[in-house]
Amino acid sequence: MIGTGTVSPSADRTASSYWVETDGVKLLMDCGAGTMHRCAQFRIPWHQATHVAITHFHQDHWGELPMFLFAGRWGTLPARTAPLTLIGPVGFRNRLMVLAGAVGDWLLDPGYPLETREIAPGATMDLARGVTLEACKTPHTAESLAYGVRAGGTRLVYTGDTGPDDALGRWAKGCDLLVAECSLPDGQGISIHLTPTQAGALARAAGANRLVLTHFYPQIEGTDPAGVARRAFKGDVVAAHDGDRFTIGS
Ligand SMILES: [Zn+2]
Ligand SMILES: [Zn+2]
């Protein structure tokens, strides 16, 4: 858990960013502000990333992507030569081209091979031998996705940003670890974000083994989101902090 915060600046949480390592894959999911410094702090080998997957186009989820790409060329010794695959929702390529027009053509040609791919809701993409990425639409923005990673008979699901959604629960069925956004406390829920009770209900619908709550706005700080979510979900529940690490499988 690189960054468990939101767009709201926090002394303790940077914006959305998650690191997933499994056989042949080092995947960064979302790249919000603070990602790079947190990677350094937590000694995460960001320069060895094989894939970056962006859930949606809110700035707390991809605002630091240009910095990430630039750092691969100028921020690490030796400079990166290994290929990198960028993955995002439909419209991602066009966004990158427009962004390159502002920050510079290096964005799409950073000095190492860069591939950009778009993933449609419901689609599955091979990341490496035996490792797949799956996408599911979430009710948040027009393009917003949740991602699932399957490897070695295990499944990780990250909701990205989402509101309550029965279809998402069905899609997440049987995940070992559910990383769910938990933006706002019960009583302050809105249609495009989850409260602890709603995150718990999602984990229950999915039959998850473990629920890790993240994406905390200031309004929920100082409450007990894990305790509240536990009333709706009987499995293991953790309210994540930046730097937490979880292992799935053996
Ligand atoms: Zn967000
Ligand atoms: Zn968002």
pLDDT of 149 > 90? The answer is yes
pLDDT at residue 249, rounded to an integer:
87
Q: What percent of the chain has pLDDT over 70?
A: 100
* Nearest ligand (C-alpha, residue 183): 1
Ligand 2: distance of its center to the CA of 33 in Å? 13
Does any domain span residue 247?
A: no
* Nearest ligand (C-alpha, residue 138): 2
Does any domain span residue 156?
A: yes
What mean pLDDT comes out for the span 130-159? 98
pLDDT of 31 > 90? The answer is yes
pLDDT at residue 80, rounded to an integer:
96
Structure tokens at 91: 């419209």
pLDDT band at 47 (very low <50, low <70, confident <90, very high): very high
The average confidence (pLDDT) of the chain is 97
Does any domain span residue 10?
A: no
pLDDT of 250 > 90? The answer is no
Ligand 1: distance of its center to the CA of 219 in Å? 14
For tokens 């937590």, the residue is 42
Residue type, 133: L
Ligand 2: distance of its center to the CA of 141 in Å? 7
What mean pLDDT comes out for the span 47-74? 98
Ligand 2: distance of its center to the CA of 62 in Å? 10
Does any domain span residue 3?
A: no
Q: Print the domain residue range for 130.
A: 17-239
Does any domain span residue 248?
A: no
What mean pLDDT comes out for the span 84-88? 98
Ligand 2: distance of its center to the CA of 67 in Å? 20
The rounded Cα 109 to chain-centroid distance in angstroms is: 24
pLDDT band at 248 (very low <50, low <70, confident <90, very high): very high
Task: Tell me the per-residue pLDDT of 171-184, one tens digit each, with 9 for 90 and over.
Answer: 999 999 999 999 99
* Nearest ligand (C-alpha, residue 142): 2
The Cα–Cα gap between 74 and 88 comes to 24
Q: What percent of the chain has pLDDT over 90?
A: 99
Ligand 1: distance of its center to the CA of 183 in Å? 8
pLDDT band at 116 (very low <50, low <70, confident <90, very high): very high
Does any domain span residue 51?
A: yes
Task: Tell me the per-residue pLDDT of 5-19, one tens digit each, with 9 for 90 and over.
Answer: 999 999 999 999 999
Count of structural domains within the chain? 1
Ligand 2: distance of its center to the CA of 212 in Å? 18
- Identify residues whose C-beta is under 5 A from ligand 2, the ion: 58, 161
Ligand 2: distance of its center to the CA of 58 in Å? 5
Residues 6+ apart with CB under 8 A from 90: 118, 119, 120, 143
Rounded to the nearest 5°, which phi and psi values hold at 9?
-60, 140
Does any domain span residue 134?
A: yes
* Nearest ligand (C-alpha, residue 56): 2
Q: State the CATH number of the domain containing residue 72.
A: 3.60.15.10
pLDDT of 223 > 90? The answer is yes
Does any domain span residue 199?
A: yes
The Cα–Cα gap between 71 and 240 comes to 27
